[in-house]
Structure 1
Amino acid sequence: MTTTPQPPTRARDLGVPFDGTPGRWNAITDVPGVEVGYATIIEGAPGDEVVARTGVTAILPRGREGAGVPCAAGVHSLNGNGELTGRSWIEESGSLTLPIGITNSHAVGAVHTGIDRWANEVHPELSAEWMLPVVGETWDGYLNQINAGHVRPEHAILAIESAAGGPVAEGNVGGGTGMNCYGFKGGSGTASRVVRFGAETHTVGVFLQANFGTRDELRLAGVPLGRESAAPNPYEDIEWFVRDGRRARVRAGSGSVIGIVITDAPLLPGQCEALARRVPLGLARTGTSGSHFSGDIFLACSTANAGAFTSSIPTAEPGEDPYETARFVPWGRIDPYFEAVVQATEEAVANVLVAARDMVGRDGHANVALPHDEVRAAFGGRAEHTAA
């Protein structure tokens, strides 16, 4: 006898209410052409010499075939205690061309190299000029041996090559494998919203690598789940920094969050930056006040206007039609897209927490997932499935 696999549990399945209309998968991949891939590295038992709880996430706004075709893009940093490479060029040119990588804080170089190698192999015309990959990070050193060099360039290549559309795995996967969020197990999560614009329909997708917040801050749909939870909080309640030889205990709220927003709505680079600035508003709905020790950095891009926003070295004089053109949503009509970012960000945080599972890592360090029964009890057991 065969059985049909049950879809993963997400926040809506536990009765958490959200505003707005999600896309088919309620994921960043609802934006046409977007692909997400992971390389998840879980090696060793807690007492072993080598313990890895880490990985790489790859997000391809135009898929593998579309790498090198610029997207209008903008970035925003709520708190700069973190890293997102390639920011200077995005701010200068307003464009993004390569896959986006997300990993742990000490693996940025390896992932950067991996994206370079992949592009040189698959799209050599890109490496003939220059490459400035975008790689973001959050810190997984509580569960993962972060200084052991577990992430290598080939893991970034694997994440890119595994990227696909459709449903997106969440929780303990990819770059989010060893992350913690609001004192619970954190990781990777996503959501989307559909925006009507005249006769057209656009999609706004958000992806988070969530590793931020204190237990007492957590709220879902206004309910203070964190402070009311009976689940243990080993991440903040033990003096593990002291035992590890540091001079102080880890600060509550430390960690970071990387947020990626992608839409097929036609936007200018400055409008993409404005979308990126709305991610913190969605995070705030879940309780965070933005710790000084959390690097909170966000990128937004538009896959519309293919063929615009290029920046290649010219090989000839301008022809008879030397200009690029782009259409864009008027600034006066952009508010629904801001609303979509805020709504999808809030839900992506909830999806991270619901999808994550208990994990034990290096030196016996452990963290527990947000208990599903507590969520159901808080919201009266209402359930709504997200996939069509």
Structure 2
Amino acid sequence: MAVGQKGAIPSYGRVFSRRQFICGGLGGVSLLPWWRVLEVESIRAQEAVPSSAEEPRRRLRELGIVIGGYPPGEYNAITDVEGVRVGHTTIIRNLVDASGKEKRIRTGVTAILPHGGNIYREHLFAAFFNQNGWGEMTGVVPLLEEGRLKTPIFLTGTYNVGLVYDAAVSHLLKECPAIMEERSIPSPVVAECFDGYLSDYQERMVTEADVLAAIGRAKEGSVEEGGVGGGTGMTAFGFKGGIGTSSRRLPREKGGYTVGVLVMSNTAAREQLRVDGVPVGREMGEAENYVPGGAKSIILIAATDAPLFSFQLKKIAKRVVMGLAQTGATSNTGSGDLVLAFSTGNRLPSRAYSPRRQVTAVNDELITPLYHAAVEATQEAILNSLTMARTMEGREGNIAPAIPLDRLVQIMKRYYRLEVRRDD
């Protein structure tokens, strides 16, 4: 049965045995109430096998659509900033409760490790920007106070935040068992979007094992995009959304720095979608399986190897929102549009209590090229989250269709925005 047809269950992510599901993978101790053990078929994620009728997914540049003027890094991802790693745990489960009602779980968690060392011991300058605050990002109050990032960053569904936070604390205590004896105790950063269109969000299925697995899978290099990790159940611009990433590398005469952006897109309405200025959403119209609503959210994470202070990163975060605006999103009243930006250019030891600390920073009068890079990378990251996502069916038969790439290319060609270029 083709993905997107009524009754079809798209398959993504890793495989779960019945025992792993019931026990949560934690030493054979069940974390679930008894009724959730009931099942009709199997309670597990299935192998990702796209329908032969569904077109292969491609990133924006692979379609010949080029955003901006700066070239991307090697992977065109946030991981082009040296040391940054990304890992996902994707949870696709179908189960039946005691009343016979089917539950469809489409959720997960994404972990971003900010550098290759121990972030709990070596902090980074960071900044937070609240474009529209109908959302949650834990850990930002101490971040705003100190201007430092002290933990990995986690992305998930709204009602999983507490579960992920608790697991993040477990990881913190494992990595730094004596942390409670120090002056500065890290508060995990966990950000959310609401995945309730596709996922039975009341069934809070993310476990500590899932969070630790996402951390364990975190790697440099290419990043899996679309309906994976925290983005599993997300929709954007009336299509399937999720995780997307992109990067920009400045020329040597402008510093040679890299800016990378990763987003969890769950935002806007179809008619708002613009691609490189082209009103793609209006051109496509409200086709079958249109995802309703535009008052949703997006989490945007920016990283750079440029040595920047927190006040400079706050300005980078504001430019990230300009990239969001270029895709057509307008941050509605009910949107949770939250930005976190960090720099790997200085590592700040947690135990350094000397009276003075020497750090470096880019001359603030020469920071403008980093603004441009942030705007470009953000726009492309959001669009990659669409072009890489596959059609998904979820809660109560709701379907989030993948953006049709053939139509996207046709529209861009008609507006003379399609480029055939050599690799950057």
- Give the TM bin, normalised by the shorter chain: 0.7 to 0.9
Question: How do 1:3-22 and structure 2 match up within 5 A?
Answer: 9-19=58-68, 20-22=70-72
1:162 aligns with 2:217: yes
CA distance in 1, matches of 2:144, 2:171: 24
Q: Report the Cα offset of residue 367 of structure 1.
A: 1.0
Q: Percent identity over the alignment?
A: 41
Q: Secondary structure at the match of 1:40?
A: strand
CA distance in 2, matches of 1:323, 1:226: 53
**Does structure 2 retain, via aligned residues, the 8 Å contact 1:233–1:368?**
yes
Residue in 1 that maps onto 2:74: 24
1:179 aligns with 2:234: yes
Residue in 2 that maps onto 1:42: 92
Between 1:210-219 and 1:8-17, the stretch displaced more is 8-17
Q: Report the Cα offset of residue 229 of structure 1.
A: 1.0
User: Residues 20-60 of structure 1, C-alpha deviation per residue, up to 9 Å, x if partnerless?
Assistant: 21000000000000000001001117996231100000001
Stretches of 4+ moved more than 6 A in 1?
A: 45-48
Between 1:184-193 and 1:36-45, the stretch displaced more is 36-45
CA pair 77-66 structure 1, distance change in 2 beyond 3 A: closer
Higher RCO (CA < 8 A, seq sep 6+): 1
Residue in 2 that maps onto 1:61: 114
CA distance in 2, matches of 1:82, 1:127: 29
Q: Report the Cα offset of residue 122 of structure 1.
A: 2.3
User: Residues 335-386 of structure 1, C-alpha deviation per residue, up to 9 Å, x if partnerless?
Assistant: 0001111000000011011001100001111110110011111233645586
Residue in 2 that maps onto 1:341: 374
Q: Report the Cα offset of residue 68 of structure 1.
A: 2.8
Q: Secondary structure at the match of 1:297?
A: strand
Q: 1:363 aligns with which of 396, 418, 421?
A: 396
1:120 aligns with 2:170: no
**Does structure 1 retain, via aligned residues, the 8 Å contact 2:121–2:351?**
no
Q: Report the Cα offset of residue 202 of structure 1.
A: 1.1
CA distance in 2, matches of 1:192, 1:24: 9
**Does structure 1 retain, via aligned residues, the 8 Å contact 2:57–2:390?**
no
TM (normalized to structure 1)? 0.87
Q: Report the Cα offset of residue 276 of structure 1.
A: 0.8
Q: Secondary structure at the match of 1:137?
A: strand
Question: How do 1:1-388 and structure 2 match up within 5 A?
Answer: 9-19=58-68, 20-44=70-94, 49-63=102-116, 65-129=118-182, 130-196=185-251, 198=253, 200-229=255-284, 231-236=287-292, 252-306=293-347, 308=348, 310=349, 312=351, 318=354, 322-380=355-413, 382-383=419-420
TM (normalized to structure 2)? 0.80
CA distance in 2, matches of 1:215, 1:52: 24
CA distance in 1, matches of 2:213, 2:134: 28
CA distance in 1, matches of 2:239, 2:157: 18
Question: What residue identity is the alignment partner of 1:186?
Answer: G
Between 1:18-27 and 1:377-386, the stretch displaced more is 377-386
**Does structure 2 retain, via aligned residues, the 8 Å contact 1:64–1:160?**
no
User: Residues 82-124 of structure 1, C-alpha deviation per residue, up to 9 Å, x if partnerless?
Assistant: 0011111111101001100010111111111111111211232
**Does structure 1 retain, via aligned residues, the 8 Å contact 2:289–2:399?**
no
Question: What residue identity is the alignment partner of 1:71?
Answer: L
Between 1:61-70 and 1:139-148, the stretch displaced more is 61-70
Q: Report the Cα offset of residue 232 of structure 1.
A: 2.2
CA distance in 2, matches of 1:213, 1:383: 29
Between 1:226-235 and 1:177-186, the stretch displaced more is 226-235
Q: Secondary structure at the match of 2:170?
A: helix
Q: Report the Cα offset of residue 207 of structure 1.
A: 0.3
CA pair 199-272 structure 1, distance change in 2 beyond 3 A: closer
Q: Report the Cα offset of residue 257 of structure 1.
A: 0.4
Question: What residue identity is the alignment partner of 1:24?
Answer: E
Question: What residue identity is the alignment partner of 1:211?
Answer: N
**Does structure 2 retain, via aligned residues, the 8 Å contact 1:12–1:385?**
no
Question: What residue identity is the alignment partner of 1:41?
Answer: I
Q: Report the Cα offset of residue 223 of structure 1.
A: 1.1
Supply the RMSD in Å over aligned alpha carbons. 2.1
CA distance in 2, matches of 1:271, 1:114: 31
Question: What residue identity is the alignment partner of 1:232?
Answer: E
**Does structure 2 retain, via aligned residues, the 8 Å contact 1:12–1:383?**
no
**Does structure 2 retain, via aligned residues, the 8 Å contact 1:103–1:174?**
yes
CA distance in 1, matches of 2:343, 2:192: 22
Residue in 2 that maps onto 1:239: none
Q: Secondary structure at the match of 1:260?
A: strand
User: Residues 139-175 of structure 1, C-alpha deviation per residue, up to 9 Å, x if partnerless?
Assistant: 0001001111111222111111110000000000000
Aligned residues: 358
Which ranges in structure 2 are unaligned for 5 or more consecutive residues? 1-55
CA distance in 2, matches of 1:277, 1:124: 36
